[in-house]
Amino acid sequence: MTKAALKVYLAAPRGFCAGVDRAIKIVEMALEKWGAPVYVRHEIVHNRFVVDGLRAKGAVFVEELADCPADRPVIFSAHGVPKSVPAEAERRNMIYVDATCPLVSKVHIEAERHAEAGLQIVMIGHAGHPETIGTMGQLPDGQVLLVERAGDVATLAVRDPARLAYVTQTTLSVDDTADIVAALQARFPAIIGPHKEDICYATTNRQEAVKAIAPRVDALLVIGAPNSSNSRRLVEVGARAGCSYSQLVQRAADIDWRALEGVRRIGITAGASAPDILIREVIDAFSDRFDVTLEEVETAIERVEFKVPRVLRTQTA
Ligand code: SF4
């Protein structure tokens, strides 16, 4: 039987960012240095495939530091942790390695500096996301106000409208965040923003690539986990940019082939925590069913790399 023709537009950049790459390396190097088990507080990055792979090598994933024995090393995930977490690890004399992405740490430092200057911090982010918890936790409880959507701004009860600064989660929708910032600036004209955008390069670049592809395709698949903020934003960006079928899939087995019947042009991208092997698996699944012509749509070139912490570098030197 002849296969139907299918044009596949592959977004570039897609998949792993420098922060995710570094966080995974940290766990692997910690396992080499200290042997198994190495504890990891929270999923190191939001991807089950990655987590299962590290678990098979001896990583033990827990949600709280209290679940880690004091005599084994613990790693903090790429999303960042409240200040209370390393403080508790130190109190228990634990060996810990912080895999917080340097671009999340930048936001932490920003929030602290503004607070030291006497400004109240407004955080734009998603309630309950570990990154939001980590950033808000750089300051004592109750000091950071959370805004999730532009509609929240009208009811925000601030200490002093003239002494405010905002920070954001790194993985938000660029366009939604611009709306929220505009609402904040309209109500609090003196509010101070970050020197350099908090939404990271990887989030911005992946959203731009989706915007370039979405209007050209009948369907867009975003490879990523349901708890991956940046992946879910890519699905929304695709829908808003004109693709009526924009879906998240964790891997090829999740593809709803029936929903894709009659599709002739498809877009594929992947969130910052989705490994290449899953992208390949999805492309292969399409090649099994269709006569695929692949075209990469590159909207940015990324050369960002982050070093792993010194404690791990010295060991392999
Ligand atoms: Fe860092 Fe951005 Fe990757 Fe998050 S998505 S780990 S902030 S580079």
Report DSSP letters for 56-102, one per residue.
HHTEEEESSGGGS-TTS-EEE-TT---THHHHHHHHTT--EEE---H
Structure tokens at 67: 């679940």
pLDDT given at position 315: 53
Spatial separation of the C-alpha atoms in residues 236 and 89, rounded to whole Å? 38
Spatial separation of the C-alpha atoms in residues 39 and 49, rounded to whole Å? 17
Distance from Cα 31 to the centre of ligand 1, integer Å: 23
Ligand 1 atom nearest to 18, measured from its CA:
8
Distance from Cα 101 to the centre of ligand 1, integer Å: 6
Distance from Cα 85 to the centre of ligand 1, integer Å: 20
* Domains detected in the chain: 4-16+201-298 (3.40.1010.20), 18-101 (3.40.50.11270), 102-187 (3.40.1010.20)
Ligand 1 atom nearest to 17, measured from its CA:
3
pLDDT given at position 317: 41
Helix (H) or strand (E) holding 266: strand 265-270
- Pick from 21, 22, 171 the residue to mutate for probing ligand 1's pocket: most ligand atoms within 8 Å of its CB: 171
Ligand 1 atom nearest to 45, measured from its CA:
6
Angle at 230 (CA atoms; ends 99, 296), nearest 5 degrees: 110
What count of residues does the chain have? 317
- Pick from 17, 177, 197 the residue to mutate for probing ligand 1's pocket: most ligand atoms within 8 Å of its CB: 17
What is the residue-wise DSSP string for 116-169?
Answer: HTTPEEEEES-TT-HHHHHHHTTS-TTSEEEE-SGGGGGG---S-TTSEEEEE-
pLDDT given at position 61: 98
Distance from Cα 303 to the centre of ligand 1, integer Å: 14
Nearest CA to ligand 1 atom 1: 19
| Residues assigned a catalytic role | 131
Phi, psi of 272 (to 5 degrees): -70, -15
Ligand 1 atom nearest to 101, measured from its CA:
1
pLDDT tens per residue, range 168-186: 999 999 999 999 999 999 9
Per-run averaged pLDDT (10 residues), the chain, 317 residues: 95 98 98 98 96 98 98 98 98 98 98 98 98 98 97 97 98 96 98 94 98 98 97 98 97 98 97 98 98 98 97 69
Provide the sign of the torsion angle of the four alpha carbons 19, 20, 21, 27, taken in this order: positive
- Pick from 126, 203, 304, 308 the residue to mutate for probing ligand 1's pocket: most ligand atoms within 8 Å of its CB: 203
Nearest CA to ligand 1 atom 8: 19
- Ligand 1 — pocket residues by CB below 6 A? 17-20, 78, 101, 103-104, 170-171, 200, 202-203, 230, 272
